[in-house]
C-alpha cells in the first residue's frame, strides 16, 4: 500500500508543478527582483560608507568611489581610533546597552508573564493601561523634569530607566507566552513544582526565541540612541558613542584632528573619509551581535506577533 501511495503523491506533486500558470511564474520572478532591489538599497549605503572609509583621498577623488576604491588607506581609521572620545563613548555605550537590555528584559518578561495568565485579576484592565502608554505620553518636558527631580541627571540610569518598560515589547512577549500550552504548567504542578520553578525551569527555556528577539531590539535601540544622552548627560567623559558620532558627522572633522595645534590634516584623508570611518567603527560591533541571535529571531517575531 505504501508504494502506490508514494507514487500517487509524487504524480500529484509533479502535476501540480506542471499546472503552475505563467502568471505564477511571473509573480515569483517579480518578487525575487523586487526583494533583491530592496535588499540592495539597504546594503549599498553601508557598503559605500565602507568603501569611502578605506579610500585614499590623496590618490582618488571621493566622488569617484562607487563600489570599491582604487587606492586604499587606513589613515582615517587610525585617526578615529586615536581619538579618546571614541573609546570613552564605547565604554559608556556598552555599559548602557548591557544594563539597559538586562533591566528591560527582567522587568518586561515578568510583566508579560503575569499578563499572559487568564486567572490574573483584572487582566484586561492592566493590559489596556499598558497599551494606552503606547499612544499617549507625558512629553519631553515632563520627562526632563522627572529625571531632574529624581536626581538622575548626568547618570547612565537617566538613559536606562525611562525606557525600561516598553509596552510594545511586553505585548510581543505576552502574546508569545500565551501561545505556550497550559498543560506544561499543569503537569509541573502535579509533579510538585511551585511557581518559581515553573517560571525559570520551564517557561524561560521555552521563551528563548522571544527573549533573544526583544534583547536584540532593545540592544540596538540603546546602541543607536543619542537624543536622551544629549539632554541628560552633561559631562563629556560620560557621553555615549552616538553623541561622538553625531558631533563628528555634523562638524565634518575628527575631534582629535581639530585639537591638534599647528598641525595640518593628513592629505590622504578628508572629512568624508573620517566620517565614514567613524560610522563603521560605531556600526560594526552591533552588527556582529545579530548572527548569534538570528536563529531565534524569526521564530520569536512570528509567534509573538500572531496570537492576540
Contacts of 167 (CB under 8 A, 6+ apart): 130, 131, 133, 134
**DSSP code for 201:** I
Q: pLDDT tens digits for 87-119?
A: 898 899 999 999 999 999 999 999 999 999 888
Q: What is the dihedral of CA 78, 81, 84, 85, to 10 degrees?
A: 120
Average pLDDT, consecutive stretches of 10 residues, N- to C-terminus, the chain (308 residues)? 53 55 84 91 88 78 74 82 85 94 95 91 91 85 92 92 91 90 87 89 90 90 91 89 81 48 49 82 83 68 49
Question: Could you give all domains of the chain from N- to C-terminal order, each with its CATH number?
Answer: 2-77 (no CATH), 78-306 (1.10.3720.10)
Q: Angle 9-14-15 (CA atoms, 0-180°, nearest 5)? A: 95
pLDDT of the residue at 61: 66
pLDDT single digits (tens) 112-152: 999 998 888 999 999 999 989 888 888 889 999 999 999 99
CA distance 295 to 216: 12
**Cα–Cα distance for residue pair 205/188, rounded to 1 Å:** 14
- Cell numbers 538622575: residue: 152
- 3-state SS assignment for residue 55: strand
pTM of the entire structure?
0.77
Determine the pLDDT at residue 13. 54
Amino acid at each position: 500500500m505504501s508504494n502506490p501511495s508514494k507514487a500517487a503523491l509524487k504524480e500529484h506533486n509533479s502535476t501540480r508543478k506542471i499546472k503552475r500558470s505563467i502568471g505564477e511564474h511571473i509573480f515569483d520572478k517579480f518578487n525575487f527582483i523586487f526583494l533583491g532591489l530592496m535588499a540592495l538599497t539597504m546594503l549599498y549605503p553601508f557598503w559605500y560608507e565602507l568603501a569611502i572609509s578605506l579610500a585614499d583621498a590623496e590618490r582618488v577623488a571621493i566622488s569617484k568611489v562607487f563600489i570599491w576604491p582604487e587606492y586604499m588607506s587606513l589613515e582615517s581609521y587610525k585617526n578615529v581610533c586615536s581619538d579618546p572620545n571614541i573609546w570613552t563613548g564605547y565604554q559608556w555605550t556598552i555599559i548602557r546597552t548591557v544594563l539597559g537590555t538586562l533591566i528591560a528584559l527582567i522587568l518586561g518578561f515578568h510583566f508579560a508573564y503575569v499578563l499572559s495568565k487568564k486567572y490574573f485579576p483584572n487582566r484586561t484592565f492592566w493590559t489596556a493601561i499598558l497599551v494606552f502608554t503606547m499612544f499617549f505620553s507625558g512629553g519631553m518636558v515632563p520627562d526632563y523634569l522627572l529625571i531632574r527631580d529624581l536626581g538622575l541627571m548626568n547618570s547612565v540610569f537617566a538613559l536606562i530607566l525611562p525606557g525600561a518598560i516598553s509596552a510594545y515589547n511586553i505585548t510581543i512577549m505576552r502574546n508569545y507566552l500565551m501561545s505556550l500550552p497550559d498543560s506544561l504548567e499543569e503537569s509541573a504542578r502535579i509533579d510538585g513544582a511551585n511557581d518559581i520553578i515553573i517560571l525559570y525551569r520551564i517557561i524561560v527555556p521555552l521563551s528563548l526565541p522571544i527573549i533573544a528577539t526583544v534583547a536584540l531590539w532593545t540592544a540596538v535601540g540603546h546602541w543607536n540612541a543619542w537624543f536622551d544622552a544629549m539632554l541628560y548627560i552633561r559631562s563629556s567623559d560620560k557621553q555615549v558613542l552616538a553623541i561622538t558620532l553625531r558631533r563628528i558627522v555634523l562638524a565634518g572633522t575628527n575631534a582629535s584632528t581639530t585639537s591638534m595645534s599647528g598641525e595640518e590634516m593628513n592629505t590622504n584623508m578628508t572629512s568624508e573619509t573620517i566620517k565614514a570611518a567613524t560610522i563603521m567603527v560605531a556600526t560594526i560591533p552591533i552588527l556582529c551581535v545579530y548572527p548569534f541571535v538570528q536563529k531565534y529571531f524569526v521564530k520569536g517575531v512570528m509567534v509573538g506577533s500572531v496570537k492576540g
